[in-house]
Structure 1
Amino acid sequence: MSPIAERFGDVVRLTVNAERSDSPVIELSVTELRHLLASAERDLVNFLALAADWASRQLPDHCPAVTTALARALDLPAPAIPPEP
């Protein structure tokens, strides 16, 4: 599989598999793509904060390691670790 993103002026074309002529394609404006990506990033940051909070309560001894691993997997900066209850 070979996904590809191409920009044509104000339009971005996202192709699932550039090696296939019948591959699904999504076309959207650059502005819409930026909004979608920003929203996805906010959702991931919020998820990471919730996961860190959960880990601080459920896995207090492992909270920093779990939170750091999740942040690394999501390619986000690790949030501040909540204090132990």
Structure 2
Amino acid sequence: MQDSKEHIFERLVFSDEEDNIFHDEFYKEQHRDYYLQDIHEDTVYVRRIFKKIGNKYFVNNRPVEQVVDELIVMIQNIYMNK
């Protein structure tokens, strides 16, 4: 699965040491450039590996439920065509 760095940034969730989720949009926006750069570096790092993967799915900021449904269909089609 892959998506744009902006879409990944939009889905960022912050939590404390005990995994309690908290929402701080001000902090998130204040550090936007840092997080976008970090996401970019991660995607560049895995790009080489990702090229070797045959079955790809681009999230394109779809809702989680839609992604899951489409991935299930994709996986079923892969196994049915083997």
TM-score by length of 2: 0.34
Task: Identify the structure with bigger relative contact order (alpha carbons < 8 Å, sequence gap 6+).
Answer: 2
Structure with more helix by fraction? 2
TM-score by length of 1: 0.33
Structure with more strand by fraction? 1
- Which protein is bigger by CA-based radius of gyration? 1
